[in-house]
Amino acid sequence: MKPTVIRSIKSQQKLSRQIIASGKTIAIVPTMGFLHDGHLSLIKKAKVKADLVVTTIFVNPTQFAPHEDFDRYPRDTKNDIRKIGSVGGQIVFMPRADEIYPDNFQSWVVVDKLTGLLEGASRPNHFRGVTTIVSKLYNIVRPDYAIFGMKDYQQAMVLKRMTSDLNWPIKFIIAPTVREPDGLAMSSRNKYLSGAHRSEATALIKALRFGRKMVRAGEMSASEIKREMKKIITKSAPSGLIDYITLTDMDSLETVRNIRGKTVASLAVKFGKVRLIDNILLK
Ligand code: AMP
């Protein structure tokens, strides 16, 4: 079925009020559009949980730095709406940027510690943009469930913290990363990889899986694991520029030296102008 497209904040608020008054539940799936099977897996998960799934499409300007790819970020709304309908998503909320950020907008939501490293270290202010837009979407849509992808691991952890810290009565769900057959994590940005870079990009998951294999074989030293992962990327992706390879505690995101509890390996690698991130649970 074709989903209903809502553009104005007022209309979305009115709909959410009606749904809540009728005793039904709402799930939100925030996205920046140009949807792929990873996004659709979140919508499918949301469908299992709630009566009404609101997929939001908003390329959020405040989470991009001036030198980043906001203007080049891929957009294909018509196909996005069709794809959302194909998995049973009922509502597409696509607010206008000038209604979300009117002149003189000056209120921000900030999560402190968790945003200091990994993506936060490489992209200052990025998470301030993410936490602010998700707060606004929560307030407009008033969901019972919010679904995010493990693909953006730090983002998921930051938003989980925020949801709990600010007492939103929302069940926070993190869904697994959906991958291409060769293991590359699906991402709207993959379309910008040149042919050669696309083949080299499989080095990310190769390195991550090798790291996991080392841990399974008993290696507990983070520096050893990182060294081997780096070797794989340097060899299999000679044109990739490594931004970081980091092993962190799953929940606190603190850097790990010796692996004990649940540990995630994350990395960011740049191919030309395209920056890819991925991660894996090592243990
Ligand atoms: P984006 O449109 O890139 O902002 O992503 C919107 C949501 O989809 C976020 O919660 C992402 O973590 C999630 N997502 C993106 N790529 C994938 C993927 N390959 N598998 C699962 N979820 C994903």
Cα separations (Å) of 169 from 132, 154, 162, 219? 17, 21, 12, 41
Task: Say whether both 63 and 87 belong to one domain.
Answer: yes
- pLDDT at position 203 over 90: yes
Q: What is the CATH number of the domain that holds 37?
A: 3.40.50.620
Q: Model confidence over 176-199: pLDDT tens digits?
A: 999 999 999 999 999 999 999 999
Q: What is the CATH number of the domain that holds 208?
A: 3.30.1300.10
Task: Say whether both 56 and 153 belong to one domain.
Answer: yes
Evaluate whether 118 touches 246 at the Cβ level (below 8 Å): yes
Distance from Cα 278 to the centre of ligand 1, integer Å: 11
Q: Model confidence over 243-278: pLDDT tens digits?
A: 999 999 999 999 999 999 999 999 999 999 999 999
154: in domain = yes
Distance from Cα 240 to the centre of ligand 1, integer Å: 22
- pLDDT at position 207 over 90: yes
Distance from Cα 234 to the centre of ligand 1, integer Å: 26
Q: How confident is the model at residue 1 (pLDDT cuts 50, 70, 90)?
A: confident
Q: How confident is the model at residue 211 (pLDDT cuts 50, 70, 90)?
A: very high
CB distance 31 to ligand 1 below 6 Å: yes
Q: Is 39 a catalytic residue?
A: yes
60: in domain = yes
CA atoms within 13 A on the CB side of 32: 20
- pLDDT at position 230 over 90: yes
Distance CA 150, CA 252 (A): 15
Q: Which atom of ligand 1 is nearest to the CA of 179?
A: 19
Task: Say whether both 247 and 150 belong to one domain.
Answer: no
Residue nearest to atom 22 of ligand 1 (CA): 149
What share of the chain in percent tops pLDDT 70? 100
Q: Who contacts 168 (Cβ-Cβ below 8 Å, separation ≥6)?
A: 138
180: in domain = no
CB distance 152 to ligand 1 below 6 Å: yes
Residue nearest to atom 5 of ligand 1 (CA): 31
Pairing of strands 171-175, 145-149: parallel
What type of residue is 172?
A: F
230: in domain = yes
Distance CA 238, CA 54 (A): 41
Number of domains the chain is built from: 2
Task: Say whether both 153 and 196 belong to one domain.
Answer: no
Q: What is the DSSP string of 221-266?
A: BHHHHHHHHHHHHHHH-TTEEEEEEEEEETTT--B-SB--SSEEEE
Q: Can you say whether the dihedral through the CA atoms of 46, 47, 52, 57 is positive or negative?
A: positive
Task: Say whether both 161 and 194 belong to one domain.
Answer: no
List the catalytic residue out of 39, 67, 126, 197.
Answer: 39
267: in domain = yes
Q: pTM here?
A: 0.97
Residue nearest to atom 14 of ligand 1 (CA): 149
Q: Model confidence over 143-171: pLDDT tens digits?
A: 999 999 999 999 999 999 999 999 999 99
182: in domain = no
Tokens 């740049």 found at: 270
First CA to last CA distance, the chain? 41
- pLDDT at position 216 over 90: yes
Looking at 175, 204, 231, the residue that finishes a domain is: 175
Q: Domain range for residue 233?
A: 188-278
Task: Say whether both 152 and 193 belong to one domain.
Answer: no
Q: Which two tokens stand for residue 110?
A: 């900030």
